Structure 1
Amino acid sequence: MNATDRTPADLLRSALAADPGRPLVTFYDDATGERVELSVATFANWVAKTANLLQGDLAAEPGDRLALLLPAHWQSAVWLLACASVGVVAEVGGDPAGADLVVSGPDTLEEARACSGERVALALRPLGGRFPQPPAGFADYAVEVPGQGDRFAPFSPVDADAPGLVVGGEELSYAAVVERARADAAARGFGEGARVLSGLGYDSWEGLSSGLYGALATGGSVVLCRHLDRLSPQALEQRTESERVTHTV
């Protein structure tokens, strides 16, 4: 990664320039049997489309607050990087009533209705599928994002020192996210090419660092597992071997 990278979006651009074909996020949902693998290029394409949706259709601006009501999921990772690309503050598990816009999974729709701004809903179905019936008052992400542009350019440069992420009650600038992710990775021995299996949620810094930002900061990749507690020890061992995992958190 480039030492001058100061935002998560910078890290993604450097990863794309270095090796677009390498795996970045491999996602498992052990409640549904879903497995999705995204290369750096595929992940970056989803981020660009989502950032265009955020900046264009949803009219989000730098400094706006987005309540992110999603579990640890590959689409959650996409939204976090899209927010960083636009300059929007991602508040993980934030209060929708105090947010400028909200992004919700299927289990938090009623809570999300407290947001008076734009509302986006994700079905979190395999292959990024849409809702069978769109929830009233929400844009269906799976319907809105495919038609967005594959390249993204922010209307205004993103300030690395501006607030970028709120998690666990702590607010971090984009630069602080990058610095802490690098420090965490070094402390845990996540070097270049590390492949980290994480069963942690995205509702804590540890989960975000291990399950997303650390991989971006070090040129590694993540095997992100939802409902990992449903997996037997034998199945987990097989996954660790088949996915060539180097570290588990």
Structure 2
Amino acid sequence: MNATERTPADLLRSALAADPGRPLVTFYDDATGERVELSVATFANWVTKTANLLQGDLAAGPGDRVALLLPAHWQTAVWLLACASVGVVADVGGPAAAADVVVSGPDALAEARACSGERVALALRPLGGRFPQPPEGFLDYAVEVPGQADAFAPFAPVDPEAPALIVAGAEYTAAETVERARRDAPELNLTGPGARLLSGLPYGTWEGLSAGLYAPLAAGGSVVLCRGLDRLDGDALARRIEAERVTATAR
């Protein structure tokens, strides 16, 4: 941590410079049995490509609102950091009709059609797979993102004091997002590099976003993000905690 880290994108750049090979996000979907582990470098590359898609192909820029109609998922985490990289407002679960761009999972496509701007659909299939049949009126994220460039620079500098995140009706600047994540880290027992938090919280609240992404990133730790954690019994959960070397939990 240092004084120059004033946006979530700054936190990711610092993590990349410090240790690009360490795990950052490990994702489980307990409905499908999927497990994906992304190192800092791999996660950052997804963020870079997504930011280029957002800024270039979707023409989004500072002040624009991107509605994220997505569950707690590793690709949602990528979109949150891509929004921070471009300087747009990530509106988690926000109204599609008020958004300049909507990014939707397969369960929210009907709601997402209320957006009159660009629409992107995520199949949320294992390994980032595409839709078997692309939804009409949407770009398929899995088709569009692989060809994006592996380097990113925002067209305009990102203002840390500008609105950056809306969740559960509350709005935060980029700097506030970082500051809150840093304050949350010790409360979540994220006490330094190597800390590994298992989170089963949804992304529809600040607490879920902080535990599931921002606080581990701010602490130099990592997150084991679990969707459908309630499917596990106590023994299965204990085995996961041991196998993943989890040091703290948020459920």
Does TM, scored on the shorter chain, surpass 0.5? yes
2:27 aligns with 27
The amino acid that maps onto 1:189 is N
2:82 aligns with 82
Aligned mates of 2:217, 2:3 — CA distance in 1: 12
The amino acid that maps onto 1:235 is A
Q: What are the within-5 Å matches in structure 2 for residues 70-219 of structure 1?
A: 70-192=70-192, 193-219=194-220
Q: Is the Cα–Cα contact under 8 Å of residues 106 and 124 in structure 1 kept in the other structure?
A: yes
Aligned mates of 1:87, 1:118 — CA distance in 2: 17
Deviation (angstroms), 1:189: 2.7
2:67 aligns with 67
Q: Is the Cα–Cα contact under 8 Å of residues 7 and 178 in structure 2 kept in the other structure?
A: yes
Q: Tell me the SS of whatever aligns to 2:21.
A: coil
Unaligned runs of 5+ in 1: none
Q: Is the Cα–Cα contact under 8 Å of residues 69 and 94 in structure 2 kept in the other structure?
A: yes
Deviation (angstroms), 1:233: 1.1
The amino acid that maps onto 2:156 is S
Q: Tell me the SS of whatever aligns to 1:171.
A: strand
Deviation (angstroms), 1:46: 0.1
How many residue pairs get aligned? The number is 249
Q: Is the Cα–Cα contact under 8 Å of residues 164 and 171 in structure 1 kept in the other structure?
A: yes
Alpha-carbon displacement from aligned partner over 1:161-213 (angstroms, at most 9, x marks no partner): 00000001000000000000000112333111210000000000000000100
1:222 aligns with 223
Q: Tell me the SS of whatever aligns to 2:155.
A: coil
**Does 1:238 find its partner at 2:235?**
no
The amino acid that maps onto 1:123 is A
Pairwise CA RMSD: 0.6
Q: Is the Cα–Cα contact under 8 Å of residues 122 and 142 in structure 2 kept in the other structure?
A: yes
Q: Tell me the SS of whatever aligns to 2:71.
A: coil
Q: Is the Cα–Cα contact under 8 Å of residues 2 and 11 in structure 1 kept in the other structure?
A: no
TM-score (norm 2): 0.98
Q: Is the Cα–Cα contact under 8 Å of residues 166 and 172 in structure 1 kept in the other structure?
A: yes
Deviation (angstroms), 1:12: 0.2
Aligned mates of 2:71, 2:30 — CA distance in 1: 14
Deviation (angstroms), 1:2: 2.8
Q: Is the Cα–Cα contact under 8 Å of residues 65 and 88 in structure 2 kept in the other structure?
A: yes
Q: Tell me the SS of whatever aligns to 1:25.
A: strand
Aligned mates of 1:107, 1:53 — CA distance in 2: 22
Q: Is the Cα–Cα contact under 8 Å of residues 25 and 224 in structure 1 kept in the other structure?
A: yes
Deviation (angstroms), 1:240: 0.1
Q: Is the Cα–Cα contact under 8 Å of residues 188 and 211 in structure 2 kept in the other structure?
A: no
Q: Tell me the SS of whatever aligns to 1:6.
A: coil
Aligned mates of 1:41, 1:2 — CA distance in 2: 20
Q: Tell me the SS of whatever aligns to 1:12.
A: helix
Aligned mates of 2:30, 2:185 — CA distance in 1: 26
Aligned mates of 2:97, 2:129 — CA distance in 1: 27
The amino acid that maps onto 2:182 is R
Q: Tell me the SS of whatever aligns to 1:103.
A: strand
Runs of 4 or more above 6 Å deviation = none
Deviation (angstroms), 1:3: 3.4
Identity %: 78
Q: Is the Cα–Cα contact under 8 Å of residues 67 and 103 in structure 2 kept in the other structure?
A: yes
TM-score (norm 1): 0.99
